[in-house]
Structure 1
Amino acid sequence: MTSFFFMPETTASTQTGTEPTMKDVTAHLEEHGLDYLLKALRTLQSHMNNAPLSTLPANSLWVNAEFPKPKSGRHPRPDLPQAIRPYAKWRADLLRAVSLFDGSHAEKKAMKSQIDEWQELRDAASKLAEKHPAIHAGRLSQIDRLAEHARRQGLLPIHLDNHGYIQKLAANSGQDCRSQIRNAQKLLNDLSNYPDIRRHLPADRILVLPTRKMEQKLPSDIEAFLEGLVKGATVRIDPVSNLPLMDQSDNTVSVYYAAMRHHIRALQKLADDSYERITDLHQINDLHSLFSRDRVFATIRHTESRVDQEGGLKAGTASSYYQTIAFILERNGLDDGSLARTLKHSEFIRSGVDERKGMRPEKEDWCKALVTDERKTRTFLRLHLIFMEMALETISGRRLHQLTRMELERVRQLGYCAAIAAIELAGRPVRRSNAVSFQYRGKNANFFVPSQKTGRNDYSFKLSAQQTKARKDDPLTIIRKEMKGPRVLDWYLKTIRPLCRHHEDSVFLFPQVKKGSDHIGELTFTKWFQKYASEAGLPMTFHMFRHGVASLLVNQDWSNIAAAAELLGNSVRVCEERYAFFNEEKLVSSGQQKLIENSKVGHK
């Protein structure tokens, strides 16, 4: 594998005119007695199909590209035979080996040891933490992260209230770095009340880096304009009652907004010499001009140029966005349908449509591993029970009030994951938005528990047309005892749900843990689920329940495709194209076997 990255001039390989490789790193580790890191190199070679180390570039950028950092508890390389925790440790060891080799580790160590304003601030914070137990010493490492980035930009603590310096810091920081910097800035604001800290900081309050979401917020008049367009495309007037009716689900409406906002933000990222480029959205007088034919085409070209790059869209998502924009404009009378017809002839849009018809490669790989690996199949089908067992193992025979705060939080999170996984596996795989928002009390209840009063003997649920993507009523689904779903739900209702502060006031099956009486947030639950699924040895997103169930059914027998489609609430065609993976080798072998059997019948 050829490396295209420049390496420091201090390495031996660079001095000889060749780019350093992992073989050079191995030699460096052996020379300096760093044998404990050699295992990381051997694991790397295994992950790269036993490629010679001399063909692998000794570069941290390459390592980060090939083996990304886990985020939100999600395994970035589920194809590797490593669970998320061993993967993260191995990755850290590999990066450390490379950094020791190229000198960056020594450079960082020297930078940290500098006696400057940042070091004086850090020392003052450490002394303060010794005097005040309420100040957790572990949080002070956040100041070190801020200092590292600030030193590179020539930024001193006294500059932390200067907009210009903060913008410079933001421009040279990645997403992970921004989060660390924001935490450090908030911490210093909290500590600025102490005189020993305040003398190192500016007189005014420290500026905190805005989140990406805050930076991308559109002007209020444009947001109001987009809201009007989306309503015009999704709401119709009942001819009898003259009342507005929503034509689309909440998920579809959110996609409409995402498509429109993508186009608006892309207008600001066009080339400087582009006539369609907009430098200041606050200066737009004619909001309709934002969606002129030329500007739509300009952002399509820009989007195509950034497909699959960091921060860019996939072709399938991009085609969906622009087809959505054409639909919205036509429904609002801003286009006569010609834009949609034109997009059908765009090679980029057509390639995106084709991409959406099938499963993405990473999902196909996951499904293939699921149906061919018996261990993964068992783990998948028992995931709700595994989550419950993990929670019970944490409790370890103690009473709940005897658990530490962190143990109690872990048990609660695992309880939510177990109950929702029981619904997915012992009932049927509903979408995440439906799963977290089930109501089991009140007039809008759609999840039903066994009760002598109602005469119900089983757990069951039923989604209305308003709650489904297909906009049709789903049949009543019973949680099957054979899959031990009721056992998990009994445990959840008796042990886990009462741990939520407002559980008595909430009508939701899965209430928020601390705030109000609403249901648990989708993003919060996603973070929990992906964390514990990886810990259970089966890294997956929640949506993979739908792919997994469909794939297991059709690999058992292709004639199960109709049953799989019904469980998912999709058409057979959509289930076949987008959800179900079938082992083609098994299908070919099965066909051959049938031919052999027919040939034997003919000979008789």
Structure 2
Amino acid sequence: MFQTIDQMTKGKATPVIPRTWAAISEFLREKVSAGASKSSATKTKSAVNGLLKAKGMIADNAPLNLAWFDQMFPANAWDPTTMPFEQKTYQDYRNRVRPLLEEMLGVVEEKKALRAVIDDWDDAASEFERLDIIAGPNCKKKMIPIRNTLTMAARRIDILPAELDQFVLMRIYDAAKKSERKSIRKASERIAYGQQACPDIARRFPHPITPIVADGVFRYAVPAHFNFELEEFVEKGARIRYIRAKKMYEYVADGTRVGMRTSMRAMIDAFIATGHLNPRANSFSACLENPDALADMLGHIVERIGDDGITARHATTIVARLPIIFARNGIDDAVLRGLIKEVEELGHHSKKAGMPERTKQFCRALIERKKFRNSFLLAHATPRVIAQDILDRAASEARSLTREERGQVIRNGAVALFCSIEIGGAPARVENVLEMPFGVDKAWMRLAKKDVQVVIPGAFVKNGEEIRFTMQPGPHRFSETVLWYLANVRPLILTDPDTGEMASSPWLIPMLSDPDRPCPYETFHGWFVRIMRDDVGVPCTPHNYRHGQASLLYHRHPERIGWIAVRLGDTQETVLRYYAWVHSEKAMAEGQQLIADMIDS
């Protein structure tokens, strides 16, 4: 049956015009008309404009969406190399704009409704308030993870305490904003403790809960009951060969074993996310020989490449380990290898790629901005002062450090130590510093009066050549900072705060909970990134700290590339691959100036 134009027009759905930040101005005007503070509205509008300017955007192109806001403006994303304001200003802008967006999107009303619900979470919270670790003057603050963060998140998905198991908890954790994750981790600790200490809490939470551990990087949600099978695969995958004379296997390095475990967790997480593996299944092994499951698994990993997920290098490294693990576990790896070859993104090898653009941006700022460069080169001073001030304050008050103060001193002391070694000694890889033997027969660091002598064996250096250097007293107090750490901070790590007993450790930076092991990279990475960003004002990772000083050296002394390679423990080829861009850009700029000079002449 034919229709008239009017009939066809009526039958068409009205297109939905997505709301953008352009609606903010009108919303603020209406608030002021309704009696809101005009000065507050003006400050909020300035914050909106400041954030947009930092990203080179206009209001019409910024969606009115909280997920987009959190991706574009994370709480820890202040970067002086790209933003025209200080960190305090960035945080102020965020704290003004995000609540406004929540108000415009109705999130505030949703939160009020969730808080008004009365259910089993309220009764459960009352049980926690009676625990010895919570009861007391700070009870209300200690209850925030349970009564607020976790309760609100669980109510959104209609989960009651009796239905909360480890898998559901991890899904809540993964869906949470970054600012909420620490609180949910704390809630998991409270529940795990409560299940052991209080029968009533164990009754309300019948499923065993394990505390969530932050690993500092991208997380993979794998139900705990898969861990035994996962470790069996890693054990066989880590075997290089069997030595018949010794009747034992030769294994990969411990770090490689950790990497294999990460690859397996990423794979299992992807099987679950793509629907090929039921999270409550007894085993994941059937998926390993299912071509469709393998293809979707790789596709899922590739989809996670991006600013809010994993890097292309990380994805390539994760996937590259899997065929080896398959083969050593007796599983045909031909299909998997073939699938990997088809995916262009999984061919991102660091040896071909050189330095990422974001790291180049950081290094350019060091080269071009003197104040920023000096803060970088003297980064050890700030955390040392922070830690020493805490020690001095406790001493002047004739008291012991509180737990929080002890943690602050250890975190700042470890970062000050690392920075002083990297700049005042040699830019050793962060793993070499964290796993540096100390105080034992084969120690890499030894003290000779006021000198600090370090030898990193060639077996632990990429180019196979040992790194040897001596740090001596000087105006910038690099060696003095190492000695200060050994005298004041390391003993804190080794001393039990409850008993006062001091343990021994063969490591320069021992693990807090187990001094027989070195400080984990993930733990130190978290300390370093936060302190460098919030206190030093130089946002970077431990690895970029190495890249930064190497770029400065190559920019200033390109003729000494051999010396720079020795200092880095790399080959000259590697130095050129990572840092040649420094002089390529300089040559391009000089060439442009030469052309301009021709015009003037």
Which structure 2 segments of 5+ residues have no match? 1-13, 213-219, 496-501
CA 1:128/1:567 → structure 2, altered by over 3 Å: closer, same or farther? closer
Q: 1:429 aligns with which of 413, 427, 430?
A: 427
Alignment check: 8 A CA contact 1:367 1:581 kept: no
2:100 aligned partner: 97
2:9 aligned partner: none
CA 1:44/1:257 → structure 2, altered by over 3 Å: closer, same or farther? same
Instruction: Give the 5 Å matches for 1:311-460.
Output: 313-326=310-323, 347-350=344-347, 352-353=348-349, 357-395=353-391, 399=395, 401-402=398-399, 404-405=401-402, 406-451=404-449, 458-460=451-453
Distance 1:377 1:90 in 2: 26
Shift of 1:171: 4.7
Query: Structure 2 counterpart of 1:388, which letter?
Result: R
Give aligned-pair identity as a percent: 20
Worse-superposed segment, 96-105 or 395-404: 395-404
Shift of 1:48: 2.5
Which structure is richer in relative contact order (CA contacts within 8 A, separation 6 or more)? Answer: 1
CA 1:556/1:30 → structure 2, altered by over 3 Å: closer, same or farther? farther
Partner of 1:399, secondary structure, is: helix
Q: 1:33 aligns with which of 31, 36, 40?
A: 36
| TM-score (ref. length: structure 2) | 0.76
Instruction: Give the 5 Å matches for 1:143-292.
Output: 143-155=147-159, 159-162=160-163, 171=171, 174-176=175-177, 180-181=183-184, 183-184=186-187, 187=190, 203-205=203-205, 207=207, 211=212, 215=223, 218=226, 220-232=228-240, 235=241, 237=243, 245=250, 249-270=253-274, 282=282, 290=288
2:26 aligned partner: 24
Query: Structure 2 counterpart of 1:574, which letter?
Result: T
Worse-superposed segment, 357-366 or 478-487: 478-487
Cα RMSD for the two superposed structures: 4.5
Shift of 1:190: 6.4
Query: Structure 2 counterpart of 1:437, which letter?
Result: E
Distance 1:501 1:69 in 2: 33
Alignment check: 8 A CA contact 1:429 1:568 kept: yes
1:529 aligned partner: 528
Alignment check: 8 A CA contact 2:236 2:329 kept: no
Partner of 2:376, secondary structure, is: helix
Worse-superposed segment, 58-67 or 329-338: 329-338
Worse-superposed segment, 105-114 or 212-221: 212-221
| TM-score (ref. length: structure 1) | 0.76
Shift of 1:204: 4.6
The alignment status of 1:133 with 2:139, answered yes or no, reads no
Query: Structure 2 counterpart of 1:500, which letter?
Result: I
2:3 aligned partner: none
1:467 aligned partner: 460
Cα deviation 1:366-408 (Å, max 9, x = unaligned): 2222222111110111011222223334445762754651334
Partner of 1:459, secondary structure, is: strand
1:558 aligned partner: 558
Worse-superposed segment, 412-421 or 298-307: 298-307
Cα deviation 1:440-489 (Å, max 9, x = unaligned): 222221111114xxxxx63121122443345x241312225455311212
The alignment status of 1:507 with 2:506, answered yes or no, reads yes
Shift of 1:20: 4.6
Alignment length (residue pairs): 556
Cα deviation 1:58-98 (Å, max 9, x = unaligned): 3322211211233xxx7588633455555344323211122
Cα deviation 1:80-126 (Å, max 9, x = unaligned): 34555553443232111222233322332344245666567768988
CA 1:491/1:296 → structure 2, altered by over 3 Å: closer, same or farther? same
The alignment status of 1:519 with 2:527, answered yes or no, reads no
The alignment status of 1:108 with 2:105, answered yes or no, reads no
Distance 2:494 2:410 in 1: 12
Partner of 1:383, secondary structure, is: coil
CA 1:439/1:225 → structure 2, altered by over 3 Å: closer, same or farther? closer
The alignment status of 1:42 with 2:49, answered yes or no, reads no
Query: Structure 2 counterpart of 1:65, which letter?
Result: Q
